[in-house]
A and B are shown apart, each in its own frame.
Chain A
Amino acid sequence: MALPGPRSGQPLLEVENLQTHFRTKDGVNRAVDGVSFHVNAGETVAIVGESGCGKSVTSMSILRLIPEPPGKIAGAIRFQGKDLLKLSDREMRQIRGNEISMIFQEPMTSLNPVLTVGRQIGETLRLHQGLSAREAEQKAIEMLTLVGIPEPARRVREYPHQLSGGMRQRVMIAIALACNPKLLIADEPTTALDVTIQAQILELMRDLKHRVGAAIVLITHDLGVVAEVAERVIVMYAGRKVEEAEVGPLFRTPRHPYTQGLLGSMPKLGSSLHGEETRLAEIPGLVPSLKAKIPGCVFATRCPHTTDLCRQVAPALEEKAPGHVAACHYALKEEALAA
C-alpha cells in the first residue's frame, strides 16, 4: 500500500489495520475497520469526519480506553516501536498520561469536581515521576502559567466549578502536558467552547506546539479548526480512512468525493461579500449502518459518481499525488490529470 512514508526513520506512532468492533445486542458494530496511519514526532495530524465515522473510537483505541468486552481491538498500534496492543495493563498505565496523554471535549466532566486543580495536575506527576507533594504543586503552578491562566498560585487551590469553561479546558491541557508527553491526543478540544474562547484555546495549542514539541493527534469535525492547526489530515468515513494528505493539498484539491462534499457543504465566512448567493452543496442520504458488511465503497450510497463497480469493489487507498492518498476508483492520479 502506498502510504506517505515517515519523514525520517521510524514514526512516533504507527497504526496498522486498526479494527475496533463492538458487540451489540443486534449485531457487530464495525466502528473502525482497517485504518492505518502514522504520526511523526512533533507533527500535528488531524482526523476529521462526521459523527459515527470512528474518529473518536480510533483515538480511544490508541490509548486502549475501549472496554473489552463489548469492544475488541485488532491490528497493531506501534508507539516508538512497541505494540501497545501487546502490553500488559500495568505497562499501558505507565504510558497513559505519561508518554501519551489525552484532552477530552467536555472540560467539566473530565475533571474531578472534588479535587483542587493543583491536585489533579500534580497527581500524574507524583504517579509517573515520583515528585513530592510540594514539588508537584510547584510544577502545577508552572503548568498553569504555561497554559496562560492568570494568578496561577491562587488558581492551583481552586476547584473545577470555580473556573469558567475556557479555563477548565486550559487546566485539562495543563494536566495533559504535565509529564511532557510525546504524543497528545485532543478529542474535539474546542467543540464545547464558544468561538472567542475557542480562538483562545487554538492560539494556545499553536503556541504550545512550538514550545512543548509534542506530536498532536487532533480529532475534530470542524474543517476550520483543521485548517488552522493541522499539518496533515486524515479523513474518515464509516469506520474507514478515505483520504489523507498534507493540509494544503487536501483543502485545495480534495480527491475523494466525500471530502469534496464535506468542503462544499461548509458555509464560508465572507461569502456574502463577493455577491454570491449560492446554495450549500448537500451530501444526500445517510451514513450506512456499520452493523452490516459493506462489500464495496462505504461512500457509494451517497456519492454522486457511484457506479456498479463502486458498490462491488471496495477501492484501495492509492497514492494519487505525492503524499496524497485517497480510496476512490475514479479519483485520478496526478499524471492523468496533467495529461
Chain B
Amino acid sequence: MASATVLARPELTRESVSAAPQMPDVLPPVKARKGFIGFLRRNPTIAVGGGLLLIMLAIAVFAPLLWTVDPTALAPARRTREPSAMYWFGTDMLGRDVYSRVLYGARVSLLVGFSVAILSSVIGLAIGMVSGFIRWADSIVMRIMDGLMSIPPILLAIALMALTRGSVQNVIIAITIAEIPRVSRLVRGVVLSLREQPYVDAAVAAGTRTPVIIWRHILPNTLAPITVQATYICASAMIVEAILSFIGAGTPPIIPSWGNIMAEGRALWQVKPYIVFFPAIFLSITVLAVNLLGDGLRDALDPRMAKRL
C-alpha cells in the first residue's frame, strides 16, 4: 500500500505544527454524580414519587404519634365541626376526628395497595411463566385470562365481594383476582420475547437444562417490567379499594379507610365538603406518588431508554 510513504516522521515540535482551533463549550458541563444522590438527581420522578410514598408510609406507621386521637371514638356532641385548631380536618357526622381517621385510613389503603401488588405479581408471574413455556397450556390459560379481562376489574371485584363478608383480607383477595390477568398477560409476552433472545439459544446450545434457563435467563429479565407493572397495580388497587368502600362493598365501616370516610361524608357533601375533601386529597397524592415512582422506574429500568445517547 502506498500509505507507508505518505506518513513520515520529521522532527516536529509544538511550534512547527498548526493546531486545530479550540471548540467552545456549547452546553454547560454536566457533573456526573455517583451513588444514591446521583441516582435520584438523574431520576427526579423516582425521587418525588418515592419521597411522597415514604411520607405516606411514615404517616400510616406512625399515625398514633402524630397528634391523633382514637379514630373510632364517637362524640355526638361535637358533630360536623369545621376544621379548626382543635380539629384540624374537622369532625364527621358522628363527631369523630377526621384528621385521625384520614391518617389511620392510610394504613388500609397502603396495606391493600402493597398486598395486591405483591400477590398479583407473584401469582401472575407463575401463570405467565407456565403459559409462556408450556405450549399446550398456553391457549387454555390465555383464553381464561381473556375471559377474566373482558370483565372490568372493578365489576369483578364487586361481584367477588358480594359473595363474601366484607373484610380487608377479602378486599385484597378480590382485587388480586381482578388484577392477575393483566400481570400474567404481561409476563407471558415478556417470556415469549425473551425465549427468542440469542442468549437463551446460546444457553440451550451450552447444554443448560430448561429449569435453569427459566431461573437464570428468563426470570431475572422479567423482574424489571413486573416491578413497573406492580406499581401501577398498587395505584389501581388503592383506587378500587376506595371505590369498594365508598359503595359499601369493601372494608367494613368500622375500620377507617379513605373510601369509608368519603362514603360517610357523601350525604353532607353540599354543606360539609371537607369530610370528603381531605381523604380524597390523601388518596390522590398517594396514587400520584405510586404512579410517579412507576414512571420513574420504567425509565430507569428500560435498557432501550438507558442506551439512548
Direct contact of A and B (CB under 8 A): yes
CA distance in complex: A330, B1 (Å): 17
Q: Are the C-beta atoms of A264 and B1 separated by less than 8 Å?
A: yes
Task: Indicate which residue in B25, B26, B30 contacts A26 across the interface (CB closer than 8 Å).
Answer: B30
Q: Are the C-beta atoms of A317 and B1 separated by less than 8 Å?
A: no
Contacts of B23 in A (CB 8 A): 17, 19, 30, 33-34
Interface status of A316 (Cβ within 8 A of chain B): yes
Interface status of B21 (Cβ within 8 A of chain A): yes
Interface status of A163 (Cβ within 8 A of chain B): no
Contacts of A72 in B (CB 8 A): 26-27
Q: Are the C-beta atoms of B18 and A330 separated by less than 8 Å?
A: no
Task: Indicate which residue in A24, A257, A260, A316 contacts B30 across the interface (CB closer than 8 Å).
Answer: A24
Contacts of B6 in A (CB 8 A): 253-255, 260, 331-332, 337
Q: Are the C-beta atoms of B17 and A315 separated by less than 8 Å?
A: yes
Interface status of B135 (Cβ within 8 A of chain A): no
Interface status of B19 (Cβ within 8 A of chain A): yes
Contacts of A317 in B (CB 8 A): 20
Given A22-B309, A29-B309, A332-B7 in contact, is the A318-B18 Cβ separation under 8 Å?
Answer: yes
Q: Per-residue CB proximity of A301-339 to B under 8 Å, as 1/0?
A: 000010101001111111000000001111110001100
Q: Are the C-beta atoms of B2 and A329 separated by less than 8 Å?
A: no
Interface status of A21 (Cβ within 8 A of chain B): yes
Interface status of A150 (Cβ within 8 A of chain B): no
Given A19-B23, A314-B19, A316-B21 in contact, is the A305-B7 Cβ separation under 8 Å?
Answer: yes
Interface status of A270 (Cβ within 8 A of chain B): no
CA distance in complex: A22, B6 (Å): 36
Interface status of B13 (Cβ within 8 A of chain A): yes
In the complex, the chain B residue whose C-beta lies closest to that of A252 is: B2
Q: Are the C-beta atoms of A28 and B29 separated by less than 8 Å?
A: yes
Contacts of B2 in A (CB 8 A): 252-253
Q: Are the C-beta atoms of B30 and A27 separated by less than 8 Å?
A: yes
Contacts of A26 in B (CB 8 A): 30, 32, 42
A307 to chain B, nearest CB (A): 8
Interface status of B270 (Cβ within 8 A of chain A): no
CA distance in complex: A22, B27 (Å): 8
Interface status of B8 (Cβ within 8 A of chain A): yes
A238 to chain B, nearest CB (A): 13
CA distance in complex: A331, B5 (Å): 9
Q: Are the C-beta atoms of A332 and B17 separated by less than 8 Å?
A: no
Q: Per-residue CB proximity of B215-248 to A under 8 Å, as 1/0?
A: 0000000000000000000000000000000000
CA distance in complex: A276, B3 (Å): 19
A295 to chain B, nearest CB (A): 9
Q: Per-residue CB proximity of B163-185 to A under 8 Å, as 1/0?
A: 00000000000000000000000
Q: Per-residue CB proximity of A1-45 to B under 8 Å, as 1/0?
A: 000000000000000010111111111111001100000000000
Q: Are the C-beta atoms of B12 and A309 separated by less than 8 Å?
A: yes
A30 to chain B, nearest CB (A): 8
Contacts A/B (CB < 8 Å), 29 sampled? A22-B27, A23-B27, A23-B30, A25-B32, A25-B42, A26-B42, A27-B30, A28-B25, A28-B26, A30-B23, A34-B21, A73-B26, A74-B24, A74-B26, A254-B6, A307-B9, A307-B12, A309-B12, A312-B14, A313-B14, A313-B19, A316-B21, A317-B20, A328-B7, A329-B12, A330-B7, A330-B9, A331-B7, A336-B8
Q: Nearest 7 CB-CB pairs, A to B? A: A26-B32, A314-B20, A260-B3, A316-B18, A34-B23, A25-B42, A316-B20
Hey, which bits of chain A sit against chain B, CB under 8 A? 17, 19-30, 33-34, 70, 72-74, 252-255, 257, 260, 263-264, 305, 307, 309, 312-318, 327-332, 336-337
Given contacts A74-B26, A309-B17, 8 further A-B contacts (CB under 8 A): A26-B32, A34-B21, A254-B3, A263-B1, A305-B7, A329-B17, A330-B7, A332-B7
